[in-house]
Amino acid sequence: MAFFLFLFLLSSNLHVAFSAHCTTTTATKTFQKCTTLPTQQASIAWTFHPHNATLDLVFFGTFISPSGWVGWGINPSSPEMTGTRALIAFPDPNSGQIVLLPYILDPTVKLQKNPLLSRPLDIHLLSSSATLYGGKMATVHNGATIQIYATFKLVPNKTKINHVWNRGLYVQGYSPTIHPTTSNDLSSIATIDVLSGSATAQHDNIKTLKTVHGIINAISWGLILPIGAVTARYLRHIQALGPAWFYAHAGMQLFAFFLGTVGFAIGIRLGELSPGVEYGLHRKLGFAAFCLGALQTLALLFRPKTTNKFRKYWKSYHHFVGYSCVVLGVVNVFQGFEVMGAGRSYAKLGYCLGLSTLLGVCIALEVNSWVIFCRKSKEEKLRREGLIGGSDKGSGIHS
């Protein structure tokens, strides 16, 4: 089951990675090079003229709302949103025609202290325009493709350009509102050498770590840990197994915790590599599940013997903390799918199928346990009333 989950996660990530493509040809221009950008199915094409350090390019993006916006820009100093000189396209509030306006994303924009207002760029922008795919008769809708053309005069001998792009849902007047804050939207940055064509996505390592983090935690906290709990609940009553159920339970839970610790550590590292990116609920649930898992592991060191009077208190604590850890782990796996933007992915479908199978097995075993319990209770009642002999164990009835 864990293996199939891994395949679902891997295939979904490969699908995202290869779903977009780039082209060097538009209806009005042909460019020399192109590259696919790592997020939002965006791409760019360009022609660089070394003799005068002029960059001619087009950005391909898509709208996510009929009243939304699509923006692209360059950051002259660093690969981040703050400081970007952007060109943002959106439908004119009055005419409905596409307009393209320049904006400078200073720190106040990130803090949302003031609305984003258009102002001239302080870089050598020679020309710019925007066109909807489909020509003048095209209209803005969810998924509509926009082409943003720009010609820049670059600094001599500086061919590595920090590209920043994004898209949002609404425009208030002529002020684009904040874009969504999913991991993909916050990772829309890439550095491209326009001379050689080599691209360096600033968050390639982060995306790989996110994938590994998701796979490890879905398998450990989301599958192995619940299976270990099911093992203890339903197999310990089978006398033929002897203590084997305990070793299976302890082994699976320890393996799940140590594997989950690796995933937890990767999550901490992801937080360090993503300043300004916060997933409050996912983070809190992760810390809570890890702390409960650590308490459960430490509880093994203080496990009283069966004859100890504190054994019943330890069992109550063990059950409460254990089931709480399982519930938090499963809930946080679903929260993780939302954080990764995989809320409707095949990966989530695969996990749901695995979890549903486990839940179905639990229901069947629970029903079976209650049937056995009720049968034994009835036999015990008959035995107390003298209707069944103690040595017959329910196999015969006295006359």
Which residues are annotated binding-site positions? 213, 249, 282, 318
Closest-CA residue to 336 (of 168, 204, 183): 183
* Alpha-carbon separation of residue 26 from 60, 151, 339 (angstroms): 10, 15, 35
DSSP string, 157-201: T--EEEEEEEEES-EETTEE-PPP-STTGGG-EEEEETTT--EEE
User: CB of 102 within 8 A of CB of 85?
Assistant: yes
Lookup: tokens for 329 = 């782990």
User: CB of 361 within 8 A of CB of 223?
Assistant: no
Q: Rounded to 5 degrees, what angle do the CA atoms 68, 39, 23 make?
A: 90
Lookup: tokens for 355 = 């979890």
Closest-CA residue to 362 (of 252, 220, 227): 227
User: CB of 81 within 8 A of CB of 105?
Assistant: yes
Annotated binding-site positions for heme b: 213, 249, 282, 318
